[in-house]
Amino acid sequence: QVQLVQSGAEVKEPGASVKVSCKASGYTFTNYTMHWVRQAPGQRPEWMGWINVGNGNTKYLENFQGRVTITRDTSASTAYMELSSLRYEDTAVYYCAREVAGKRYFDSWGQGTLVTVSS
């Protein structure tokens, strides 16, 4: 069955960077686009961007432009999301989510990674 397993919780100081991983199994990794969505405490989910795992193309939410980088390692079936210049308001649970075949909705999600920005 499809599984997306993310790396563990992180605590970072303001201005630092964080890199979250998402290891996929149970399907052909390169056939699907992977998205990243974050959810601050008590807030709605916020879409961050995607990577076409097959060709490496990416697209990001404009608000994150320059701060977020999504990459993948096809040999490890793993996608990564790196967020730099962290701010207190970046405290959130970060999810990877698999897109259904060009449809822009998500049928499988990682378990989430809590990133806490604190001094």
Partner 1 sequence: DIQLTQSPSFLSASVGDRVTVTCRASQGISRDLAWYQQKPGKAPKLLIYAASTLQNGVPSRFSGSGSGTEFTLTISSLQPEDFATYYCQQLNSYPLTFGGGTKVGIK
Site for partner 1, rule CB under 8 A:
35, 44-47, 59, 61-62, 95, 97, 100, 103-107, 109-112
Q: What is the smallest separation between the CB atom of 80 and partner 1, expressed in angstroms? A: 18
Closest to partner 1 by CB, 102 or 119: 102
Q: How far is the CB of 108 from partner 1 (least distance, A)?
A: 8
Q: Nearer to partner 1 by C-beta: 14 or 104?
A: 104
- What sign results for the dihedral spanned by CA atoms 102, 109, 31, 115? positive
The answer to whether the beta carbons of residues 70 and 50 sit under 8 Å apart is yes
Output 60 or 80, the one with its CB closest to partner 1.
60
